[in-house]
Amino acid sequence: MIEIFRIGFLEFTLLDLLDISIVSFMLYKMYQYMKGTIAAQIFVGLLVILLGSATASFFNLSSLDWIFSRLTSIWFIVFVILFQPEIRRLLLFLGQNRMFGKLFQASSDETTNEVLAAIDDLSDAHYGALIVFVRNTGLRLYIETGEQINAQVSRRLLGSLFYPNTPLHDGAVIIKNKTIEAARCILPLTQNENISESFGMRHRAALGISEISDAFAIVVSEETGRISVAENGQLFSGLSLPELRERLTEALSEKPIMTTPELAQK
């Protein structure tokens, strides 16, 4: 049996309270998402119309109720037209969310293809590169050392970021949830003294970040164009694109990657 509560002449149940709380929370989050934009002011205006309609209906103000009912009958169409960019951004955000992303694993294929195409270009041109993928361990501390990008992963963007003598070509690019979070990030260098002297700062930084987190790092050598990856404190060098695809696909799907000692520091 649902318990009914009374405050003055108002009656409500726990379900009503839960319903109001959820709607209030959703409206608050929507306002936070749009805060600081023109859309936020329009959103407040729509809320005023909806509140006025509810008030007129509650107090049985027939004239006002008629006016507001005409306005609210088209509010959904107006909402979609006015907030088209914000709705797009919101749907993109939900699609990139880790929880929902797991339902559509195929979406990671696009990121893999774009990264592999960029790596192929960079390797052929002997442009040095360091790309780090965030997995379970957060890398916010290192993201904040670089320049915020917050853009979708693309072949052309990665190529332009690592183009020699550009402001952002040094340091690491950090990717999280199919988004390039930042570029020119500073990573910790490995303390492993057994690493070959043929490996430069990018390789040492890639190995360093893999030692303190579960991040997956890809390195392109500026001198040789050689492709390497660092994971779980191990460095694997001389990978072909098919081998890189296999490892990157497994890394993005969060499956454990089986080590192949014959590739280590090859």
Q: What mean pLDDT is reported for the chain?
A: 79
**What is the per-residue DSSP string for 62-94?**
HHHHHHHHHHHTTHHHHHHHHTHHHHHHHHHHH
- What's residue 103's pLDDT? 46
Domain that holds residue 174: 104-263
48-88 per-position pLDDT tens digit: 777 877 787 778 888 877 777 776 667 667 666 766 666 66
Domain final residue, candidates 96, 119, 137: 96
How many domains are there within the chain?
2
> CA 209 to CA 207: how far, in whole Å?
6
- Rounded to an integer, the average pLDDT of 207-219 is 93
> Where residue 35 falls among pLDDT bands split at 50, 70, 90?
low
Kindly state whether residues 233 and 195 are assigned to the same domain.
Answer: yes
Kindly state whether residues 110 and 231 are assigned to the same domain.
Answer: yes
> CA 200 to CA 180: how far, in whole Å?
24
- What's residue 106's pLDDT? 41
- Rounded to an integer, the average pLDDT of 196-217 is 91
CA-wise closest residue to 145 among 122, 168, 115: 168
> CA 42 to CA 88: how far, in whole Å?
17
Kindly state whether residues 182 and 205 are assigned to the same domain.
Answer: yes
Domain final residue, candidates 96, 115, 149: 96
Choice between 42 and 131, residue whose per-residue pLDDT is larger: 131
Residue 257 predicted with pLDDT over 60: no
Q: Percentage of residues in the chain with pLDDT exceeding 90?
A: 39
For residues 159-181, b (16+ Cβ closer than 10 Å) or e, as one string? bebbeeeeebbbbbbbbbbbbbb
| CA angle at 148 for the pair 145 and 151, rounded to the nearest 5° | 140
Kindly state whether residues 57 and 78 are assigned to the same domain.
Answer: yes
- What's residue 6's pLDDT? 63
85-107 per-position pLDDT tens digit: 666 656 655 554 555 445 444 44
Residue type at 210?
S
Residue 195 backbone phi and psi in degrees, to 5: -70, 140
232-255 per-position pLDDT tens digit: 889 999 999 999 999 998 888 754
Kindly state whether residues 92 and 108 are assigned to the same domain.
Answer: no
CA-wise closest residue to 149 among 131, 161, 140: 161
Kindly state whether residues 117 and 217 are assigned to the same domain.
Answer: yes
Least confident of 20-24, 103-107, 155-159, 219-223: 103-107
Kindly state whether residues 189 and 226 are assigned to the same domain.
Answer: yes
State the CATH number of the domain containing residue 117. 3.40.1700.10
CA-wise closest residue to 182 among 231, 218, 143: 143
- What's residue 255's pLDDT? 44
Running DSSP on this structure, what letter comes out for residue 189? P
Domain final residue, candidates 73, 96, 119: 96
Choice between 1 and 124, residue whose per-residue pLDDT is larger: 124
